[in-house]
Amino acid sequence: MSLFAINVRSRIQLAWAADREFDKVVSRRPEETFHFVTLAPKQFAVPIALAPTFDQKTLKAWAKDQLRGLNYVGMIEAAYYSNYNPVPGSRSAMVSWHIHAIVWGCSERRIGAVADEVNAVCEPLIPGRPAAHVRIMANHTAAKRIFYMLKIALENYRVYPIRETSDPDTGEITVSATGEWIQKKDRLRPGEAVKMALVMGKRSLPMLMFSAGEGTAVWTKALALTRARIRRADERFRRKIEHLY
């Protein structure tokens, strides 16, 4: 129960442990190039009313298929969109279930081909933006992306169409949609934070984590270390309470 995904203490402890374990990977590969991969196709975005019953196993299985044969640690994340919902017939807030992964042990061309394939067959969540994105990371910054991957939902995303306001040739002022969109974000309001807590429900952190290759040992050891630290902290607290009484 201590590893519920809405448990902030658990996320902090897991981030600390995962950072420690991933640092070991980085130290063994001083010349390695690491890649931060985001996969966010439209097909995994649902109205917020349906988000609590979303089966994360479908997204996890899909992501594993895309990253087959690679070393990685991955995490499923839920993003709250308050004013954007591409689902036909729905105007409610939306939750975009997507994944972040740190990938290593492959060439830029190899991971680029993965992103190209996803972008070729998957519709993006936001028009004009890719469904798959890859960022190359320096060796010394790779482990710090663990903290980003393990953050709890804190932001409200809002999407707006980009409009042309003037004609560059005549100077005539017009307003017309360009087909492109811009995304902005702000802190979740208290009510929105409650909604996202309900979206996560009783999901645990292990249910949202996945890995392959060398990444499997990173997640396994990080979870074991997290559980041990939580147990020790709880035991210290229990003894303190008993001492008081």
Length of the chain: 245
pLDDT score recorded for residue 142: 85
- End-to-end CA separation in angstroms for the chain: 26
The β-bridge partners of 70 are: none
pLDDT score recorded for residue 84: 84
pLDDT score recorded for residue 31: 83
Q: Say if residues 125 and 90 touch (Cβ distance below 8 Å).
A: no
DSSP sequence for the chain: -TTBTT-HHHHHHHHHHHHHHHHHHHHH-TT--EEEEEE-BGGGEEETTTGGG--HHHHHHHHHHHTTTSEEEEEEEEEEESS---STT--S-EEEEEEEEEEESS-HHHHHHHHHHHHHHS-BSSTTS-SEEEEEE-GGGTTTHHHHHTPPP-EEEEEEEEEEEE-TTT--EEEEEEEEEEEEEEEPPHHHHHHHHHHHTT-BHHHHEEEETTHHHHHHHHHHHHHHHHHHHHHHHHHHHHHH-
pLDDT score recorded for residue 169: 66
Q: Say if residues 205 and 5 touch (Cβ distance below 8 Å).
A: yes
Average pLDDT, the chain: 90
Which residue positions in the chain have pLDDT lower than 50? Answer: none
User: How many other C-beta atoms are found inside a 10 Å radius of the C-beta of residue 199?
Assistant: 23
Distance between CA 212 and CA 162 in Å, rounded? 40
Distance between CA 209 and CA 98 in Å, rounded? 12
pLDDT score recorded for residue 147: 92
pLDDT score recorded for residue 55: 96
Where are the domains positioned within the chain? Answer: 8-244
34-44 pLDDT tens trace: 999 999 999 99
pLDDT score recorded for residue 149: 93
For CA atoms 7, 8, 10, 14, the dihedral sign is: positive
pTM of the model: 0.88
Q: How does strand 71-81 pair with strand 155-166? A: parallel
Picking from 62, 64, 85, 84, the residue whose alpha carbon sits closest to that of residue 74 is 64
pLDDT score recorded for residue 4: 94
pLDDT score recorded for residue 86: 75
**Residues in Cβ contact with 238 at an 8 Å cutoff, skipping those fewer than 6 apart:** none
Angle between helices 108-121 and 56-66 (to 10 degrees): 130
